[in-house]
Amino acid sequence: MADDMKQGEMPQSILEVSAFDPQGRSDPHTPLKALREGCPVMRDEIAKTWFLTRYGDIRETVNDRSYVRLPIKAEEGSLARRFVDEQSGELEQPSILFLDDPDHSRIRLPLAKAFYSRIQKMKPEIEAIIDDIIDAAPANGRFDLMSEIAVPIPVLVIARILGVDESRLAEFRDWSEGVILSLNPVCTEEETERLARSADALNAYFDELLTARRKAPQDDLVSDMAALQASGEADISDDELRRNLEALLVGGNLTTTDLIGNGVWLFLTHPDQLDALKADPALAGQAVEEVLRYEAPVSATSRISPDDREIGGCPVKARQTVFCSLASANRDAAVFGQPDRFDITVKRPSHVAFGGGPHICIGAPLARMEARHVFQKLFARYPEMTLADAPLEWRTLPFFRGLETLAVEV
Ligand code: HEM
């Protein structure tokens, strides 16, 4: 049992260490440490899942290709199944996030190839988008870093990569914010309506965009994918193409926003680390990895066991789900020296903030590129930036770690 948690305070459910819970929001790391040290392979009967907190078990699980992800393969009533069941029909027709081989590889491989060559090609343009957004933020006084910088950058970047028409950008941003509500299992009625409206509008828009690019290809990812589909190089249906292009949008916005927000918050609360970055901007790449390790924007991922097996000596049955706490793995003292110290100056072993194995985040290279440039540009433009005096509010979305607002003074 960890010293800082009293007897009887050991979490019983993964929801207690998620952003759902006030403790999980204000400090997820204390209860996660207690689990890591006292019950690293926990059976959670409330969420009907196993919950892993040790780096070694988690690395092994996410890398193991024999696990599956398709929610219908999970036991009834489990969180993995309920979460998707109650959402947007993902159960029958999921994106690559919830697909298994051979479909997963059939779709992911050509998509990743096209996506990565596009990101490389567009690097200068992506950096210019970031520069413009940071230059347009207030020159002095107080402002909310989330709404001025961390939120607009990822959505504008992905819109340009996909090839969204400039004239539709405002609508696209509005729909994107609407569909991101699909990540929230506790939407209000109004939010549920907004989600449905946005999803319909976005589906219609992607159909329109795909039709237009088939007729007249442009220099963008939608045209690249339409061409691969037409040539037979990508064996992918129209529906699959649309769904997975949308997955890039949903998967990449909030997460990258949180990487930027968490990073700026960490630098402003660790001035010695900010000084180190300012003194050597080439540390930005390592700084991004340390932010990802220290406050992982996605705090958990999951797998479904296809058969009876053991994890850490515990009996896991076929169809049971296994949640892996990426946030906990990244603070495991068995792997990271002084794990609770935010230190951008040392090279650490690799973290698991992007998961691992066949489902490892497809957007990792883009998120890294964006965050690296944001940290360099932001602190060069605002060398005197400090935190404004305002209460810190973490978002309540379970399994994500990010700030609602981040008031700064420049
Ligand atoms: C800091 C930013 C990001 C974080 C922390 C993050 C985290 C993750 C994690 C943990 C997974 C699950 C991996 C696993 O289960 O092993 C994942 C999958 C995924 N992410 Fe990201 N992500 C980020 C940015 C992005 C971006 C920018 C995009 C797209 C533009 C994206 C698109 C996806 C997709 C499509 C998947 C599903 C991949 C698959 O199952 O094959 N993510 N991400």
Query: Tell me: the pLDDT tens digits for 281-320?
Result: 999 999 999 999 999 999 999 999 999 999 999 999 999 9
Range of lowest pLDDT (111-125, 129-143, 191-205, 229-243): 191-205
**Residue 87: is its pLDDT beyond 60?**
no
Determine contact, residues 295/401, Cβ cutoff 8 Å. Answer: yes
Residue 8 pLDDT greater than 50, yes or no: no
pLDDT at position 249: 87
Residue nearest to atom 18 of ligand 1 (CA): 361
Q: How confident is the model at residue 46 (pLDDT cuts 50, 70, 90)?
A: confident
Q: What does the pLDDT average to over 327-337? A: 98
Distance 294 CA to ligand 1 centre (A): 17
Average pLDDT on 1-27 reads 73
CA angle 288, 289, 293 (to 5 degrees): 120
- Which residues line the pocket of ligand 1, CB cutoff 6 A? 62, 96-97, 108, 158, 247-248, 251-252, 255-256, 259, 297-298, 301, 326, 353-357, 359-363, 366-367
Nearest CA to ligand 1 atom 37: 97
Higher pLDDT, 14 or 231: 231
Burial of residue 98 (number of CB atoms within 10 Å: 0-12, 13-18, 19+): buried
On the question of pLDDT at 88 being above 90, the answer is: no
Question: What are the domain boundaries of the chain?
Answer: 14-409
Nearest 5°: the CA angle 179, 183, 189 is: 70
CB 178, CB 194: distance < 8 Å: yes
Q: Residues 240-252: what's their mean pLDDT? A: 91
**CA 124 centroid distance within chain:** 23
**Average confidence (pLDDT) over 153-175:** 91
Strands, sheet with 300-304, edge to edge from the N-terminal-most edge strand: 41-44, 49-52, 321-325, 300-304
Q: Which uninterrupted H or E stretch holds 178?
A: helix 169-179
- Determine contact, residues 185/71, Cβ cutoff 8 Å: no
The whole-angstrom separation of Cα 312 and Cα 209 is: 49
Hey, whose CA ends up nearest to atom 17 of ligand 1? 361
Ligand 1 center to 244 CA (angstroms):
12
Q: Give me the CATH code for the 14-409 domain, please.
A: 1.10.630.10
Please tell me the distance from the alpha carbon of residue 114 to that of residue 100, in angstroms, as a whole number.
20
- For residue 228, pLDDT over 70 is answered with yes
Residue 180 CA to ligand 1 center (angstroms) comes to 14
Mean pLDDT of the chain: 92
Distance 247 CA to ligand 1 centre (A): 9
Which two structure tokens, joined as six digits, stand for 377? 């540009």
Task: Tell me what the mean pLDDT of segment 76-103 comes to.
Answer: 76
Does the pLDDT value for residue 343 go beyond 50?
Answer: yes
Strand order in the sheet with 407-409: 142-144, 407-409, 386-387
Residue 312 buriedness (CB in 10 A; 0-12 / 13-18 / 19+): middle
Q: 113-162 pLDDT, tens per residue? A: 999 999 999 999 999 999 999 999 999 999 999 999 999 999 999 999 99
Query: Which pLDDT score, from 0 to 100, does residue 251 have?
Result: 86
Select from 156, 162, 255, 289 the residue to mutate for testing ligand 1; criterion: most ligand atoms less than 8 Å from CB: 255
Residue with the smallest CA separation from ligand 1 atom 40 is 97
Distance from Cα 95 to the centre of ligand 1, integer Å: 12
Please, are residues 194 and 207 in contact by the beta-carbon 8 Å criterion? Answer: no
Q: From CA 118, how far away is CA 324, in angstroms rounded?
A: 31
Q: How much distance in Å is there from the Cα of 251 to the middle of ligand 1?
A: 6
